[in-house]
Structure 1
Amino acid sequence: MPMRIPSLWSEARLAITREEETRSSSVAQNLHPVSPEPLTSKDLPSRNMHDSYTELILPFSSDPNLLEEYVNASGGIRTGKLMEHLDSLAGSISYKHVLGLTKSELKVEEMGLYIVTAGVERIDMLRPLTPDYDLRLSGQVIFTGRSSMEVVVRIERIGSKGIQQKDETILLGRFSMVCRNARTNQAYPINSLNISTDEERALFAIGKELKRRRASLAQRSLSRVPPSSEEAAALHENYLKFGEALSQHHYGHQQTSPEVKAIHTDISRGGSLHESGSSFSGLDYTAELVPMGETRVERCMLMFPQERNVHQKIFGGYLMRLAYELGFSNASMFCRGRVRFLALDEISFKLPVPIGSILRLESVILYDDFFKLREESGEENVYQLVHVGVKANVVDIKTGTEKTTNEFRFTWRSEERLKGNAGESGLGPQKVRKVVPKTYREAMLWLEARRAVAVGDEIRESTTRRQRE
């Protein structure tokens, strides 16, 4: 179920031109096609949950030529390219659920419908990616509404059969897909799900809860309601220790006091990863304060037809990869070292990106904190964590105005642990950059990022707990 069109762009342009001419002629003659009676999900055959299951194997261990296409500069795997595949996989799964039979080519004008990614709720990296194992990318529809679907995808490390090694899940993701009428762009009903086993009931309940929680989080957005008292207290403490110094133009290095270190332990975003403050209370660091507005990194580029999808728009997975790579670059420069991906906390797809448009990507460091990790050896180390926002805008070259098409949120941690722990001989205070909001809008972005990181903490802690059990 390919999400890329194998046909030539010249043929696609002719088809688009004919469609536009037909539409203009109908409008000029005041012709309105007679719409058939609207379908409902009850009119469509129901599908089994496992019918939409789809998988893709990447045999990195046995195919060095394939690995060469995915390897990064440090010998690891390009995570952004895998995200591009995950978005394509989620779309293929959705079409497979709606269409039933697998087709080698998708033609929107023949199907009368199209499916787009409404958003990505989360993608969490549970274990590091390594190039010495084969990877399995898989997923399926776990919940359906009237015209929407919840799709769960995952990446597994395929174990070696020779040494009786089990497969291991290293990434989990959740996509929200919506179906639209190809002619009217209105909601198009989709097939309902048959639920027959206890496992499917559990998955369906999870999908339903995900949709409910997404609606709840939208209502709790800081663009709608004020921050909670606990969030306001955390923001105020952050201002007292860092914001006031910025307002007095003390931009340089600032030695932290025991009082400041206590703030990062007690008023941090919370969660079980931060309940034990021993590692934090012994961390001696020097904070280099950086205004949030000075962390911006931009990229401006043309959108070419080679990156189009079945709807003759720029493929969403390609945009995910561009945003990931820009965010990774910004996080690396902020931490002054390489970083490791932890989570994609949210993606919202607001508008399609037209072919031939100018896309401006803007990345900003929204939040940073300390991240405590228990290594496989049992040792606990502290790393710097950064949460990055990336916004994609389409530029109107005639007016100079811009429209936001996508917003992305990523979380990374530094690869190098913080070494300035008290008691380590020969080591002075560790220099750590701290991002500080200066305006009310930046403060709300800081709190939204803090919320997203807290969710990631809970997921990582629950995963670690299951592994111990």
Structure 2
Amino acid sequence: MSSPLIVRERERPSGAPPLSQAQLPERTVQDSLVFATVPLGSDGAIRDLYRSFLGTVRVGRLMEDMDLFSVWTCRAFLLYPPGYFPLIVTAYVDEFELTPFLPQPDQDIRLRGRVTWTGKTTLEAEVRMEQLKGEDWRVLTKAFFVLAARTLHNEPMEVNRLRPTTPAEEKIVAAGNQRRQRRFELADDRSLLQAPTSEEYAMLHSNYLATLAGGDLSPACLPETPRRAGCERLSESRLTTTVFAHPIDRNMYNTVFGGYIMRMAQELSSANTYLLCNETPILRYISYIAFRRPIKIGTLMILHSMMTYTEGNFEQLQVCVEVMEPKTGETVTTNVFYLTYQTASLAPLVFPDSYSGRWSSLLTSPVLIASFAAVVYVLG
């Protein structure tokens, strides 16, 4: 049975030209405001899907729901003449923030979405998850999703222009423009092509000395110098998993649903942090999620998690998603994640064991380091 969305796309009159943004009615933030409920408190079967082995809520499941709900939010915003209906795909996730309020597994969760910025063929949707505490709705997570409108043939499709109608909406749109500029800066970052500064050298050298446990520090003996307890090499901080991309996880284009990739990356990085810190971590922030290319059904998904930086009891992990074509052996990177966790105890000090490890891992983009530092400052 064909999907209703595909049927509506095919109903576009033969030979009808694509619509330009000027031909579409302007829309407001209020036009896109939608709500939904995750019935954890009222549906036991649903609750079991979201409950972890510790009795807490699986954050990866919530991330998956937020990605799906961002598409629904854009659907509420878009308004086309009969016969025109775009498909919406996730291109980027920005500022995925988790508040100090941890989700309770026996209470319903409310999702709230609204469109906060539009380009020519892309939209930004803010999605929040909230839970009732007394008489107040407390925000659990908040994220901004950048989505692209496409035709059935994967061609760009122009979207309605967002028009602010109140001073509050003007601030919302202005903040959306600032995030758009930040994304451009991050995409144009060339820090890995530049020589490290003296401050960066000093930081790495200080971290290296902190890993030594004494003994003979002459150059000839450094490879055998004992390491201080609580230190980990980058190469020893990795965790990898490999899964096939199955049809149950597909989207409208027969490629893997972005929310499923997000859940897999979060659960792998959480397990990696648990193994290195010997305790259950709490996800605090996701600095960067890039969807570089779609993942076809039937390919192998290889997820690599690595702890790249620690400070106090905060840990930053990088998750790279690679796709391998089983028949040819060709491997390409499709997604990159940077996640910040917090533990009750001090995190191990990670140190590189190669030049590339120093600069591609410890000294990532300045924008990402700034995000990590902000989280540590606010929550530390």
Counterpart for residue 367 of structure 1? 309
The answer to whether the aligner puts 1:392 opposite 2:321 as a matched pair is yes
Contact 2:189 2:365 in 1 (8 A): no
Larger Rg: 1
The answer to whether the aligner puts 1:446 opposite 2:362 as a matched pair is yes
Contact 2:309 2:315 in 1 (8 A): yes
**For residues 111 and 396 of structure 1, what CA distance do their matches in structure 2 show?**
35
Letter in 2 for 1:358: L
**For residues 224 and 85 of structure 2, what CA distance do their matches in structure 1 show?**
61
Letter in 1 for 2:241: R
Letter in 2 for 1:400: G
Specify which of 86, 89, 92 is matched with residue 116 of structure 1.
Answer: 89
SS at match of 2:52: coil
Contact 1:302 1:359 in 2 (8 A): yes
1:244-263 matched pairs, under 5 angstroms:
248-249=222-223, 253-254=227-228
The answer to whether the aligner puts 1:335 opposite 2:304 as a matched pair is no
1:166-245 matched pairs, under 5 angstroms:
166-183=136-153, 185-227=154-196, 230-242=199-211
Counterpart for residue 345 of structure 2? 417
Question: Would the alpha carbon gap of residues 201 and 463 (structure 1) be closer, same or farther in structure 2, given more than 3 Å must change?
Answer: farther
Contact 1:152 1:172 in 2 (8 A): yes
Contact 2:249 2:256 in 1 (8 A): yes
SS at match of 2:230: strand
Question: Would the alpha carbon gap of residues 147 and 298 (structure 1) be closer, same or farther in structure 2, given more than 3 Å must change?
Answer: same
Counterpart for residue 20 of structure 2? 40
Q: CA deviation at 1:227?
A: 5.0
Specify which of 290, 293, 308 is matched with residue 351 of structure 1.
Answer: 293
Contact 1:243 1:436 in 2 (8 A): no
**For residues 211 and 367 of structure 2, what CA distance do their matches in structure 1 show?**
20
Question: Would the alpha carbon gap of residues 182 and 231 (structure 1) be closer, same or farther in structure 2, given more than 3 Å must change?
Answer: farther
1:47-196 matched pairs, under 5 angstroms:
47-99=27-79, 111=84, 113-127=86-100, 128-160=102-134, 165-183=135-153, 185-196=154-165
Specify which of 284, 293, 299 is matched with residue 235 of structure 2.
Answer: 293
Question: Would the alpha carbon gap of residues 169 and 58 (structure 1) be closer, same or farther in structure 2, given more than 3 Å must change?
Answer: same
Contact 1:124 1:456 in 2 (8 A): no
Q: Deviations over 1:182-229 (max 9, x none)?
A: 32x343211101210111111000101100111122223424545555
Q: CA deviation at 1:144?
A: 0.5
Contact 2:121 2:148 in 1 (8 A): yes
SS at match of 1:47: coil
Q: TM-score, normalised by structure 1?
A: 0.71
Contact 2:110 2:131 in 1 (8 A): yes
Letter in 1 for 2:355: Y
Contact 1:41 1:190 in 2 (8 A): yes
Measured on the aligned residues, the alpha-carbon RMSD in Å equals 3.0
Counterpart for residue 374 of structure 1? none
**For residues 250 and 100 of structure 1, what CA distance do their matches in structure 2 show?**
68
Q: CA deviation at 1:115?
A: 1.9
Question: Would the alpha carbon gap of residues 364 and 168 (structure 1) be closer, same or farther in structure 2, given more than 3 Å must change?
Answer: same
**For residues 64 and 297 of structure 2, what CA distance do their matches in structure 1 show?**
18
**For residues 313 and 44 of structure 1, what CA distance do their matches in structure 2 show?**
29
Question: Would the alpha carbon gap of residues 172 and 232 (structure 1) be closer, same or farther in structure 2, given more than 3 Å must change?
Answer: farther
Q: Deviations over 1:144-190 (max 9, x none)?
A: 01111111111112233xxxx3111121111111223432x343211
**For residues 213 and 225 of structure 1, what CA distance do their matches in structure 2 show?**
20
Contact 1:133 1:159 in 2 (8 A): no
Counterpart for residue 281 of structure 1? none
Question: Would the alpha carbon gap of residues 317 and 366 (structure 1) be closer, same or farther in structure 2, given more than 3 Å must change?
Answer: same
Counterpart for residue 330 of structure 2? 401
Contact 1:251 1:288 in 2 (8 A): no
Count of residues paired in the alignment? 365
Structure 1 unaligned spans of 5+: 1-6, 20-33, 104-109, 255-286, 371-383, 419-431, 465-469
Q: CA deviation at 1:253?
A: 4.6
Which deviates more, 311-320 or 214-223? Answer: 214-223
SS at match of 2:125: strand
Q: Deviations over 1:74-127 (max 9, x none)?
A: 1110000000001101112123322469x9xxxxxx756322111111211112
**For residues 47 and 191 of structure 1, what CA distance do their matches in structure 2 show?**
6
**For residues 58 and 195 of structure 1, what CA distance do their matches in structure 2 show?**
30
SS at match of 1:200: helix
1:247-326 matched pairs, under 5 angstroms:
248-249=222-223, 253-254=227-228, 287-326=229-268
